[in-house]
Amino acid sequence: MGESKHAVVVIGHRNPDTDSICSAIAYAALKNQTSELQYEARRAGELNAETTFVLKHFGVEPPRLCLDVNPKVRDVDYRKFDGIPGSTSLRRAWTIMRSQEIDTLPVIDDEGKLLGLVAVKDIATSNMDIFDTEVLAKSHTSYRNILETLEGTMEVGDPDAFVEHGRVFIGAASPDIMEETVQAGDIVLLSNRYESQLCAIEIGVSLLIVCQGAHITKTIRRLASERNVAIIRVPFDTYAAAKLICQSTPVSYIMTTQNLLKFSLYTQIAEVLKVMGKVRHRYFPVLDENGKYCGMLSRRNVINMPKRQMILVDHNEQTQAVEGTSDAEILEIIDHHRIGRPETRNPIFFRNQPVGCTATIITQMYLEAGVEIPAPIAGILLSAILSDTLAFRSPTCTPTDQKTAQMLARISQVDMEQFASEMFEAGEHISGKTPEEVLIQDFKVFLCGDTRFGVAQLYFMTENNLKAAQELLKPYLSEAISKQKIEDLYVMLTNVPQNASTVMHTGYNTVQILSDAFDAAAVKGNAVVLPGVISRKKQFLPALMAAYQQL
C-alpha cells in the first residue's frame, strides 16, 4: 500500500497523558467531518490508568499504538506483480519482462517463498553460451517449455515429460553423417527429409523436432512410438528453431540464489537507501511478514514516496514527538505548551493558546466549525481538562477552561466533582506496576542548550499513595537516567489536596538547578518538597529552564 493511501495521523506526545490521547481522538473526529482527507487518532505510548478509566467510562475505543512513523517499505508504492515459477522458460520470462517493462523477475515456489531472481543480463549471458549443447538435459527442461518456446505441437509422446539426457543436434543432410555424430538420447532438429527422420529414430534419439511444419508420415509416427521417441512439430526452420530451443531452459537453471538483496515490508527506508547506495541493482524483492514475496522495489519508488502526513496535538517539541516525525510532513500543531523547536518545511496551521489544556482549544474549534460535539467526545474532552487543570486547582487553569468544562459537562451529563474524584483515584494506583511503568505515565524530555533532561509528574489525592510511589521509584532513578538517555531526571509527585509536590531527582546538575530555580539552598538527598508547585508547565519547567540557562 502506498503512502498516499495512509490516513493523516493525529497524535500526541510520547508517554501520553489524558489530554494527549483525548485531544487526538476528538480532533481526528472533527477533521473527518470538515475535511476531504481521512484522519486517524494514534497514541505514542501505552495508556495510563487514568486515561484507560476515561475511555472505558465514555465507551470510546483507544487509538492504535504508533511508536514510530519512520517511513518503511510498506509505505512505498512499490511494484506489485506476480512472481514466476522456477519452471518458467527463459523465453517466457523475457516476454514478461518486456510487457512489464522491468529487467528483473522474482522466482517463487508454490507457497510464494522467494527462490531467486532472474535478470535480463542472466538471459543474455545464457544465450551467449552457444557451445553448451547439453543445457536442456542439465536444466531438466520440460517438453511443455519446448512446445511453448518453439510454438510447436506434440505429435508423439508425453508433453509432461522432461529432457533427461542428451545433446541438441541439428540434423545433417546425409544420414551417414548422422550415424557418426548423433547418439542415443540426443535431441535432433530436422526438416521433412524422410530418411533423416528414420535414421534418427533408429539411432534412438529421445526427441525429434520436425521443423517448417513438415508432414510426418504414419510410418514415422508408428516407429517413433514403438521406440519411445517423442516428436514435436514446429513452424520455424531449423536455423530459427536451433536459436530458440535453448530459450526453453527453465529460469531455475540460471537464476541468482545466493546473497539476494531483499527487504521486508517493515524495513525502514533509511536502511533501504543505504543498501541502494552500495549496489547497482535496479529492483529489489519485497517480502511480507511471513517471508512471502509481494512485490519489487526500485530507487524510483523510494524517491517518489510521499511523506507521512501528521497533526501534532498537545506538544510541539521534537524531543517529545514520536520517532520519525522529523521526516514527516507536519500539517498542523494544536498545543497549549511553550513553543520549543518545531521545524517544518512549509508554512503550517499552528494554534497555540495559553490555556490549561489542549482539549479546551479543540472544543473551541468544534464551536468555530459549527460541528455538534457528541456526548462521548464531550466526555473525554471534559476529562482532559479536569486532568490537566487538576480539577481547576492548577495555576495553568483559566476561566476559559472552566467555562468550557461546564459546557462539556452539560453535553456529557457528568457531575464534574464526583467524576474528577473517581478519575484521579483510578489514575493514582500503582499496585502491580513496575517502576518504569509508573515513571513513564506522564514523562517528557526537554532540551536546554546541550542538556537533555526529563520531567515526570504523578498526581495523588492521598499521602499514602504518594509515599508508596516514592519508595517504588527511588531505586529506579539511576537506571531511568540511562534508559531515557538524559543527563538529569526530575519526578514530581504532586499532592493535589495539599497543593504541593515532592520532587525526586538525580543527575549531574539537579541539586544546583533545584537550588537556583526555587531558592532552596537546603536541597539534600534525592527529594525536595516544593509547596505551592503543582504545575509542570507553568511553575516547575519555566523555573528549571531559567536555571539551566544560567548554568
Q: What pairs with residue 440 in β-bridges? A: none
Query: Rounded CA gap, 447 and 318, in Å?
Result: 9
Q: What pLDDT is attached to residue 461?
A: 86
421-443 pLDDT per residue, tens: 999 988 887 888 899 999 988 89
Q: What pLDDT is attached to residue 442?
A: 87
Q: What pLDDT is attached to residue 428?
A: 83
DSSP structure class, residue 281? -
**Helix, strand and coil in the chain, % to nearest 5:** 40, 20, 35
Sheet containing 349-352: order of strands: 64-65, 39-43, 8-11, 309-313, 329-335, 349-352
Burial of 226 (0-12, 13-18, 19+ CB in 10 A): exposed
Torsion over CA of 198, 203, 206 and 207, rounded to 10 degrees? -30
Q: What pLDDT is attached to residue 349?
A: 94
Would strands 8-11 and 527-531 be described as parallel, antiparallel, or unpaired?
unpaired
Pick the CATH number of 435-550 from 3.65.10.10, 3.90.1150.10, 3.10.310.20, 3.20.20.450: 3.10.310.20
Three-state DSSP class for 504? Answer: strand
Q: What pLDDT is attached to residue 2?
A: 39
Instruction: Find cell 553448451 and name the residue.
Output: 132
- Cα angle 485, 491, 494 (rounded to 5 degrees) comes to 160
Pick the CATH number of 90-253 from 1.10.274.10, 3.40.50.300, 1.10.760.10, 3.40.1390.20: 3.40.1390.20
Q: What pLDDT is attached to residue 521?
A: 59
Grid cell for residue 295: 512485490
Indicate the residue type of 479: E
Q: What pLDDT is attached to residue 489?
A: 96
Contacts of 449 (CB under 8 A, 6+ apart): 548, 549
Query: Rounded CA gap, 264 and 273, in Å?
Result: 14
Grid cell for residue 405: 468544562
Work out the number of other CB atoms within 10 angstroms of the CB of residue 158.
Answer: 9
Whole-angstrom Cα Rg for the chain: 37
Determine the topology of domain 3-71+307-427 in CATH. inorganic pyrophosphatase (n-terminal core) (3.90.1640)
Contacts of 98 (CB under 8 A, 6+ apart): none
DSSP structure class, residue 474? G
Q: What pLDDT is attached to residue 163?
A: 94
Convert 277-288 to b/e letters by CB count within 10 Å (16 or more is b): eeeebbbbbbbe
Q: What ranges do the domains of the chain cover? A: 3-71+307-427, 90-253, 435-550
Q: What pLDDT is attached to residue 180?
A: 83
Grid cell for residue 92: 517466457
pTM over 0.75: no
Instruction: Find cell 516544593 and name the residue.
Output: 530
Indicate the residue type of 101: E
Query: Rounded CA gap, 338 and 316, in Å?
Result: 8
Selection from 17, 39, 14 nearest residue 26 by Cα:
39
Residues of the chain with pLDDT under 70: 1-5, 130, 172-173, 520-522
